[in-house]
Structure 1
Amino acid sequence: MHFVEGLLDGLPPLVVYLVVGAVIAVESMGIPLPGEVVLVSASLMAASKIVSPLGVAVGASLGAIVGDSIGYTIGRRGGRPLLERLGRRFPKHLGPKHLAKAEQTFDRWGVWAVFFGRFVALLRILAGPLAGALKVPYPRFLVANAAGGILWAGGTTYAIYHVGRVAEKWLKGFSWVALVVAVLFGLGTTLYIKRRIAKSAAEIDGDGPADNG
């Protein structure tokens, strides 16, 4: 976390937004990168008024939507053989067990896997390529992709931004303590959001058969 923030620190705001968007976009294409770590780091910078939270949220949202769409196109053209090649290249992240788990999630949730997948590390990487390989209709994919990307990016950014601002106000004069508290609360908030999303997904799964269209 501190290493990533150190890399972003000192960059012009516009460059920070572009880096955030680019890292998340590449991650969403199916390449394992620390997209969430970069987003949290940039959000903490926004809390310190180094960059704008809106800029971070917009950059992350666009990166998520564009990256997933490119991943979808790659997956649709390359099919399962492409996913298997990626698995051999990144066995710790996209191995056979990971792919099987992601496919099982799509079988159960259908297009909802794209929306909820934005909040889960494995599906955040595989949702786009896997949806393309499984021939999910693109209009439905795009709606779920955009909604999940905006909610994830905007929600994470502003949750950590506001927590960081409150911590900084309470602990003014002890910036390093404020940073630690902001990181802990920010991660706690992110975990809470993920658990709520997972609970909602489980309830949806229990309501009836998934829509695999």
Structure 2
Amino acid sequence: MNLEQLVLAVSYPGIFAIVLIETGFLVGFALPGDSLLIAVGLLAAAKKISLPLALLMLFVGSFLGNNLGYWWGMKLGPALERRVKREELEKAYALFRRFGVLAIFIAPWVPVVRALVPFVAGATRIPWPRFVLLTFLACLLWTQGLTLLAYSVGQLIPDLEKYIYLIILAGALFGVLLGLPRLLRRRAAKEPE
């Protein structure tokens, strides 16, 4: 089953559940967050699903998932470190150290970190009203922005939904290429002289 068939098979409740689980439980790393949003946008452009209903399901699922992740973070607290790979958790902590509470606003755009930041926010006891405001805006921009971008591109190029995997692969390669210079600088800084 390809991503297009998956989205059509799970329909709106499935779209909601995928983004809810991705950020609300620590098992969300394997779920297709960005890929799902792109697929939904392209399928809506092809008139295979309703754009307004899909946008609503994506936003509500993401927002509720982030709040559920925050709650779990408050409950689990330090036990979080025993349940998540240290290097992945360190990425989330590094984002908080660098950007403070704005990390909540940035996190949806960073795969894996997107699933961890709500837990870290809860574990570090960031005030919930501040978390709710930032996560509301972040979820709104991420779910609506990425989906509407894919929808717009799908409107310009007919039948683009048939090439969802190629588009997602191109996006992943683009992300790797953007991160490659930083990785090389880090590696060069770590090498002994």
Which category of TM-score, normalised to the shorter sequence, fits these structures? 0.7 to 0.9
AA aligned opposite 1:4 = L
Does the 8 Å contact 2:41/2:151 carry over to 1? yes
Corresponding residue of 2:83: 86
Is 1:34 the counterpart of 2:24? The answer is no
Distance 1:165 1:103, change over 3 A: same
Corresponding residue of 1:7: 6
1:53 to 44, 51, 67: 51
Is 1:19 the counterpart of 2:18? The answer is no
1:179 to 162, 173, 183: 162
AA aligned opposite 1:179 = K
Corresponding residue of 1:71: 69
Does the 8 Å contact 2:39/2:164 carry over to 1? no
Distance 1:178 1:24, change over 3 A: closer
Structure 1: which 5+ runs fail to align?
Answer: 88-94, 169-174, 196-213
Distance 1:122 1:7, change over 3 A: closer
CA distance in 2, matches of 1:85, 1:68: 20
Does the 8 Å contact 1:160/1:186 carry over to 2? no
AA aligned opposite 2:118 = G
Partner SS for 2:53 = helix
Structure 2: which 5+ runs fail to align?
Answer: 179-193
CA distance in 1, matches of 2:73, 2:164: 40
Distance 1:24 1:143, change over 3 A: same
CA distance in 2, matches of 1:40, 1:48: 12
Is 1:167 the counterpart of 2:173? The answer is no
Corresponding residue of 2:186: none
Listed one character per residue, the Cα deviations across residues 14-63 of structure 1 (whole Å, up to 9, x for unaligned) are x6222111101100023222222222222221011011112121111111
CA distance in 2, matches of 1:185, 1:167: 16
Deviation at 1:186, TM superposition (A): 10
Corresponding residue of 1:152: 142
User: Normalization by structure 2: what TM-score?
Assistant: 0.79
* TM-align CA RMSD: 2.4
Greater relative contact order, per chain length (Cα 8 Å cut-off, separation 6+): 2
Listed one character per residue, the Cα deviations across residues 72-99 of structure 1 (whole Å, up to 9, x for unaligned) are 0010011021x22321xxxxxxx10111
What percent of counterpart residues are identical? 30
CA distance in 2, matches of 1:101, 1:23: 23
Distance 1:42 1:131, change over 3 A: same
Matched positions, count: 171
User: Normalization by structure 1: what TM-score?
Assistant: 0.72
